[in-house]
Structure formats: C-alpha cells, structure tokens
Structure 1
Amino acid sequence: MLTRATKIVATLGPASSDPDLLEAMIRAGVNVVRLNFSHGTAQDHIDRARLVREAAQRAGREVGIMADLQGPKIRVGKFTQGKIQLVPGEKFVLDAARTEPGDQDGVGLDYKELPRDVKPGDTLLLNDGLIVLTVDFVQGPAVHTTVKLGGELSNNKGINKQGGGLTAPALTAKDMDDIKTAMGLKADYVAVSFPKNATDMELARQLCAVAGGGHKPGLIAKIERAEAIPELANILKASDGIMVARGDLAVEVGNAAVPALQKHMIRLAREMDKVVITATQMMESMIVNPVPTRAEVSDVANAVLDGTDAVMLSAETAAGKYPLETVKEMAAICLEAEKADRHELGADFQGKTFTRIDHSIAMGALFTAHHLGAKAIVALTDSGSTALWMSRHIVRIPIYAMTPNLTTQRRMTLYRNVRPLLMDNNADRDNALVDAESHLKKRGIVQSGDVYAITVGEPMGQPGGTNTLKICRAA
C-alpha cells in the first residue's frame, strides 16, 4: 500500500464549506485545514472549526487546524469607482490623511506609517508587484510618486517596498483578538504573518499561552519579508516551523531569488528540527481549470524533493471551482515525486553527535529500520518529539506515531511521513507494546512475520523519556 509522506494543507472558504465536500477533501488527502483570519468573523471561524472536526470524525481520520493571522494591513484605501487605471509616467499620491475615496490622482492608506517608512528614490510595489511606483518626495502625510509600471489598481490592494523596510508590527490589535478566538477553538497551529525577528514569534507565543488556558499550539512563522531572511535561524529557534510564503516574499526580494531561498529555508528548517510548509500559487490555475499546468506540477514536485513537510492550497480550495480535484491532483503529484526521491540516509548521520538519549534512540530506530527493510517504524510518544526527529530524515518506511494525547496527535498531522494514531494511555510498557502491535495488525500495517522497529520510554508517559528501541517480528 503506497502511503504519501508529504502533507497537504488546504484553506477553507466559501468553495469548501459544504460538510460533504469537506469530508471528501479529507478522504482525498487533506491533513491540515487552514482558517484564513484575513476573511470572516470570529464566529465564522468557530463554526468552520466545528465543521472540520465533524467532517474528520466522519472520515475516520484526525486533521490539524491552522489559524492563519491576518497581520498588518499594508494596503491602499478604496476608490470612488472601485478601481482606476494607472498609466506609466503619471503622478500618483498615496495620502495617509485622505479620508474620501481615491481617484486618478491619489488614494488614502490603510497603513498610516508609510510616509515615515519611505524616502525619495524608493520603489513601491502594489498589487503583488503588478504596479510599480517610484517615490519622488514625501510631504507630511502624503507620498508623491511617479508610475513606473501601470495597470489596474482596485480597492485595498497590498503595498510592498522593494528590499523591505516597512515598520508595521507583525501582530496587530486584530491579531491579538484573533489569537483568543484561535485558542478558544483549540487551533493546533497558529501562523504569524510578516514576522521580522524572533521577538515577534516570542510575543505571539506569550499571547497564545495567556489565551490558551493550558492549550499550546504550534507556532508557524510566515517568511514573507526581506528582513526575515537574515534572521531566519533566530526566527526558527523561536517557532515550531515556518511557511515559505512566496507571494509577498517574491515582491520584496524579486521573483528570481525565491526558488533558491525556498531550498535554503526548507534545508535549514529540517536541520533545526522544525516543520516547513511551502505555499502560494502552487496550483493557482486550478482555481478556474480542472487540471494543473505542467509548471505547477513541477513546482509541487520540486517542493516535495526539497524535503518540505507540507504543500499548501490557498484560493484553489477556498474560492476555486475544483477544490476536491485540486486536492486529488496534489496528492498524486506528491506520491510520484516521493517515489523518485533517491536519498541516502547514511549521509545524514556522518559526522553527527547526539547529546540526548531520546534523540539517539529516534535516530537509531531510523537507521536500523532502513537497513533491515522494516515494514514500519513505530514511536510511542507523549509529546511527539521522537516522531518529529525521525521525520526530519527522508526514509521510505512509514512512521506511525502512537500517542494517548489528542493534542499531540493533531499536531503531528503536519509532520512529513508521520501517521499519527491515538492509543489508550498505558502505564505498563509491556502492555503498551502488545497494544501497539494489535493496532498495527488491525489496520493492516503489519502482518504476521513482518519486522518493525518500535521506540518507547520507561517509565511510560513522561515527555522526553524515550529510552528504548525494540526490533519486533509481528506474531
């Protein structure tokens, strides 16, 4: 039985909120559902989270929920006619003090700090870089510009500064309220938009801890600012994972720089035992077409070959015509790419030293199972750490992480090549091992005579206590 290692994150929206469709999408391969807090009310998100949990229960598999915070609104205001056409060479004013709707000469700003963040000669990119303005001068709250690259500009389109340098804080008052909502619905992950440094992530973690009442989500830093690149290692230390958010990032650093940055980010995240999601326009044409372009197929496959934990769908599933077909296509591409991966596990351990017993056991299980050709690797885990460490290495043997902790099970839905299973809490190690094998046999994962590796801690139930590796032959 072929099992896909790479996980799929799908964004929930009007196109995918039907309960039957959502259940079908989960059956087709969605592992984590993203709630985009840029759209909808708090109640919408609470209702959708309930919808996800119910659909997952009907589908007989657990999925994770990711609350994706909006972040600062670095946008223009609205226009009288809803949109205008900018022509190269024309003058255009971005005015933080303007309250009336925009026209051909200028527009107001949602982001009031812009006049302080720019100077003459700076390049501003609007609407994902489709419109380019050059700053001529700043006069009080008004930024006077010349249109370099024209086109249609409509209400509330985003603003980026080439090379980065906008001072907007990563966490707004809305985000702080949204964190309370996310903790109320017990989101498994919270994604923070536009973090510049580790401090932004530490603040988000503190806010989650205060609002969580004991519930601790995984924190994902969305790397979408030029300033975040030199701070990447520090941001990773303060987070549980990153999202390669290629849209805003590409606008700030240039399209051509993004593919190499993607590979660097995925590699660094894996080296630091963090998860990584690759996002933005992965199957964009499937918003309106029933099949992806060849370039999109290559894009998804390359992210898989780079070692990403997950690939993400945004508008494709939130507002597209073919949400279910998109998930099926993406799952098929991931599976094919994984089959082609010729990674040598031995190279991962050359020159490495492990200082923790539990980490050494996890690596020992991978190495032994790989060379024995075991059918499965099983981690009995309370916190999920053992499964996370194992999943940082490309191995063709599926990892089954068994935990008595529902929060841990849902958190592990994002880990590459990890199938999280819920099992009863068992204080006795020998009984736990027997239960684990009966679980595997019942699910058809192993049959009589199959060899599998299993890791466990003694005494049981202590996070970080994994100290035993056992190689078993199924009875």
Structure 2
Amino acid sequence: MRRTKIVATLGPATDAPETLTKVLQYVDVVRINFSHGDPEEHQARVEAVRKTATEIGRFVAVLGDLQGPKIRVARFANGPIDLAMGDKFTLNMTLDRNAGDQRQVGVDYPELADDVEPGDILLLDDGRLQLKVDEIAKPEVRCTVTVGGKLSNNKGINKQGGGLSAAALTDKDKKDLKTAIALKMDYLAVSFPRTGDDMREARALLGEEGKEIGLIAKVERAESVANQELMDDMILSCEGVMVARGDLGVEIGDAQLIGVQKKLIQRARSLNKVVITATQMMESMISSPLPTRAEVFDVANAVLDGTDAVMLSAETAVGQFPLETVQAMDRLCRGAEQERVAQQSNHRIHENFGHINEAVALSAMYAANHLDGVKAIICMTRTGLTPLLMSRIRSGMPIYAFSSQPLTQHRVALYRGVTTVPFSTSSTSPEAIQNAVNELKKRGAVKEGDNVIVTRGDQSGTHTMTIVRI
C-alpha cells in the first residue's frame, strides 16, 4: 500500500473518460485550478471524478485552487522581446495593456510603484529575468536589466525577499470561493497568503455554508516563512499547507528553498496539519514518458521528509503522458517508502499530550510499530481527527479510517498512510469491532494469526484502544 498521497491537476489531458478512469486508479486527490476555465467546466470535471471514482470503488477528494493576486506584465504589441543585461526597461502602471515594446510594458498591479524602492530586485517569469529598480517616477518603475532573456505576454512579477502588498483574496477568488461551496469541494487552497490572518479571512468568507471545506495555505511569499512564529501561525490558521515552490523559490532564492521545504513539512506534521509538496515535481513528463533522475530524487526526498502528498500540475492537466506520469509518481513513492527512515519516528516522544484522543492515537501508533504481529490499525472515526493524529507518525503500518460520514471518507484521502473504509460506527460493541476486523479480512489486508489494533470512542472523542488477535 502506498502511503504518500498523489494530487493530480485536471485539465484537457484528463477529460477523456477512459483516461480519467485510468488516472483515478492512482490518484487520491484531484486539483481544480481556478486560474483556468469557467464554473461550468469545473462542475463538469468534479461530477465526472465523483461518478468515475464511485464506479471504480475509490474515495477521491476534490481540491480547489484559487488563482490569487498573480502580478503580471501586460502584453507586447509585436510579440516577445529580448532583454540584454544592462538594458534600461520600464514598468509603466498606466501604459495601454497591449502597447508593450522594447523599452516598456504595462503592469496589471498599479500599487507596484508604492511597494518598491531603488535597489530592489524584481524577478520576472519565475525568476528567469531580473530587473534592478533604479528610480520610481510614478506611474513608472524604471529599471536596469541584471539578468536578461526573452520576455513575453502576461509573465509574473515577484519581488526578491517579498514585500508586495497585494491582498491574498481577489474579487475573482471570492466568486470562485462560492463555486467551491456549490460543488462541495473537500479542500480549497488559498494562493499567496501573507499571514494566518489571510487564511482566517478566507474561513470567514466561507461562512456556515462552507464550514466543512478544509483550507490549504499555499506558502508562496517570503513574508510567511520569515521566522518560525509566522510560519507556525500560517500552519495553525488552516487545515494544511502546500509548499508551493515556484513563487516561493523565486522570492527567497533556490538556496533557501531547500531548508524551508524541509522545515515546513516538519512543522506541519508537528502541529498536526497536512502538507502537500508541489511545483515541477515531474515537469519533464509534460512531453516525456519518463522522469529525469533529478525528478526521481526530488519526489523521493519529499517522501522521506514526510510529506502527506506530492502534487502534479501541468504534467497531468495538459501533458502528453498523464497516465504514465501518475504511474511513475506511484512507483517512486512506493520505492522511497521502503527506506527505513520513512518508517521511523520520534514524533512528540518527549512531549506531554493535552487531549485523550491524542494520547490514544499516538499510543496506538507506537504499539503498532513495536508489537510483533500487528498488521493494521482500525480507527473507528466520525470526524477523521484520530487518523490524522496517527498519520503524523512515520510508520509502515496501514491505518484504516472506518467511518460512515461522507465528509470524513473523502477528507482522509489526503492523510499519509490512511485508507477509507465505509462502515457504520454508531456502535462500538465487541460485535461491531469483530465486524470491522472481518471487513479487513475480506479485503485481504489481514489474516488468521495477525494482530489488529482498534481505536474507538463516542461523541466526546476517541478514548479506547483494543488489540485483537485474529
């Protein structure tokens, strides 16, 4: 059983019913990218996923991803331009959107002139080009090219070190948020949040109708990882985080990104939140049926760091080999999980627990890891909290979330090492426990002579652990 979950972005490459059916055999969460398409397209894809997943007997969660305040240059009148080091180039806040030329281009973010000062470095097209700010002459930001290259329409702008003041939630995002509620999405990712307050604003906007949607903070701004206090505030403000390495890497630099990724994964797990590692994980497979060796090790390192999920973007949305890509991701995750470091944990071993369900969940995991003959954990759960707590511990032990709640059945699809089993948990009698064990026997997960750990509770939470010998 693969423990690390796979998130795949849907798009034209997965729209064919036969392709979608094959891809969903490997995918745990599908991503709907609100940067592309309209509500009708999103609805059609979500409905197709839910219908197909039911037909093949899998629980697949749906993650919506808001576009956020992507700051971009406008368009060039005569196509892409080539900028050389030392060239003078102006970002003009009031220039016609289609009038860019070799000397200047418009920008869709009027506040840029207020957010920068001479000496700042602006990074265009994911850092492929760099401009040094020479002078602010509103509405113009006059620059010198320090790293040249080709610049085309609508490329993104970042400020090295962060500091652009654009609000995390745009008017478009607020409309898309309503679409996410209408489609009953399981998770919603917020792009470019600066602090936990942006995530708390998103939660408030979801309101009562969207209270069951799990929020994911896409960590993309330098400000959000400036220190551990800010990082922890971001993590604690939502249900999980995404290490969005594209814009984050541009703002903090490649060298810093390595340690930040590892720390984000570690802190999210310590704070009992889920974490997704994203961006360019299998980028070459957009046009190649095999990953590069660098991509193999990138995926493996994220798995060994303890990420809950690895994410595919253009590789599955518009790539030529969506099925081969998810198959390769599945293969690499399984390979990395065989390493001993992926199954060892010191998670909170020297800490006190504040809640009974924490103590039971983590006790069950340590018992499972150290008692000979244990082959599975059955967690009878209503909300999914106990299997989440269990999944924070590195282990090779499969965790089965037995639940009758549709929300929980899909929510746990993102939790590392957790598999959903539809099951009535209204009773936790010895007979009900035996029925749960029999369900695993029927699935071939356990056999005669194996030990199974069962956790259960009541409305107040999980409070009991039992070891059953089959």
Calculate the TM-score normalised by the size of structure 2. 0.96
Aligned to 1:456: 456
* Alignment counterpart, residue 95 of structure 2, candidates 75, 94, 98: 98
Question: In the alignment, which residue of structure 2 is the partner of 1:261?
Answer: 260
SS of 1:265's equivalent in the other structure is helix
CA distance, structure 1, for counterparts of residue 150 and residue 163 of structure 2: 25
Distance in 1 (alpha carbons) for counterparts of 2:462 and 2:10: 37
User: Given the alignment of the two structures, is residue 418 of structure 1 paired with residue 414 of structure 2, yes or no?
Assistant: no
Q: Which residue of structure 2 lines up, in the alignment, with residue 77 of structure 1?
A: 74
Instruction: Give the conservation status (yes or no) of the 8 Å contact 1:76–1:155.
Output: yes
Aligned positions, number? 465
How far apart, in 2, do the equivalents of 1:192 and 1:402 lie? 30
Q: Distance in 2 between matches of 1:227 and 1:100?
A: 30
Deviation by residue 1:149-181 (Cα, 9 ceiling, x = unmatched): 111111110000011010000111110110100
Q: Which amino acid aligns with 2:135?
A: F
CA drift of 1:306 comes to 0.4
- Per-residue Cα deviation, 1:371-408 (whole angstroms, up to 9, x for no partner): 22301011000010100000000111100011110111
Unaligned runs of 5+ in 1: none
Q: Structure 1 pair 425/397, CA: closer, same or farther in 2 (3 Å)?
A: closer
Q: How does 1:48-447 map to 2 (within 5 A)?
A: 48-101=45-98, 102-212=100-210, 215-229=211-225, 230=227, 231-342=230-341, 345=344, 347-373=346-372, 374-427=374-427, 429-447=429-447
The one of 450, 462, 467 equivalent to 2:463 is: 467
What's 2:24 paired with? 26
CA distance in 1, matches of 2:344, 2:247: 35
Letter of the 1:221 counterpart: A
Are the equivalent residues in 2 in contact too, given 1:376–1:400 (CA < 8 A)? yes
**3-state SS of paired residue (2:347):** helix
Q: CA deviation at 1:211?
A: 4.3
Q: Which residue of 2 aligns with 1:42?
A: 39
By how many angstroms is 1:210 displaced?
4.4
Shift of residue 239 of structure 1?
1.1
SS at match of 2:132: strand
Between the aligned partners of 1:73 and 1:367, the Cα distance in structure 2 is 44
Give, in whole Å, the separation in 1 of the partners of 2:305 and 2:97: 48
How far off its partner does 1:84 sit? 1.5
The answer (yes or no) to whether the contact 1:450–1:473 under 8 Å persists in 2 is yes
Instruction: Confirm or deny: 8 A CA contact 2:71 2:157 kept in the other structure.
Output: yes
Pick closer, same or farther for the CA change 1:324–1:205 going to 2, 3 Å: same
Q: Secondary structure at the match of 1:248?
A: helix
1:217-240, Cα deviation, whole Å (9 max, x unpaired):
111101110000021100111111
Cα RMSD over matched residues? Answer: 1.4
Instruction: Write the distance in 2 (CA, Å) between the matches of 1:427 and 1:347.
Output: 34
Instruction: Write out per-residue CA displacement over residues 223-266 of structure 1, whole angstroms, 9 at most, x where no aligned residue.
Output: 11000002110011111111011000110011111111111110
Distance of 1:5 and 1:161 partners within structure 2: 37
Contact 1:209/1:216, CA 8 A, preserved across alignment: no
In structure 2, stretches of 5+ residues that fail to align are none
Shift of residue 448, structure 1, vs aligned partner: 2.4
Offset at 1:344? 6.9
Percent identity, aligned pairs only, is 51
Tell me, yes or no, if the aligned pair for 1:73 and 1:110 is still in contact at 8 Å: no
Secondary structure of the residue that 1:348 maps to in structure 2?
Answer: coil
Moved more, 429-438 or 388-397: 429-438
* SS of 2:218 mapped into structure 1: strand
Equivalent position SS for 1:132: strand
Contact 1:179 1:211 in 2 (8 A): no
Question: How far 1:283 moved relative to its partner?
Answer: 0.5
Q: CA, structure 1 residues 88+349, in 2 after alignment: closer, same or farther (shift >3 Å)? A: closer
Cα distance, 1:44–1:346 mapped onto 2, change above 3 Å: closer
CA distance in 2, matches of 1:346, 1:149: 44
Inter-CA distance 35–346: structure 2 relative to 1 (3 Å threshold): closer
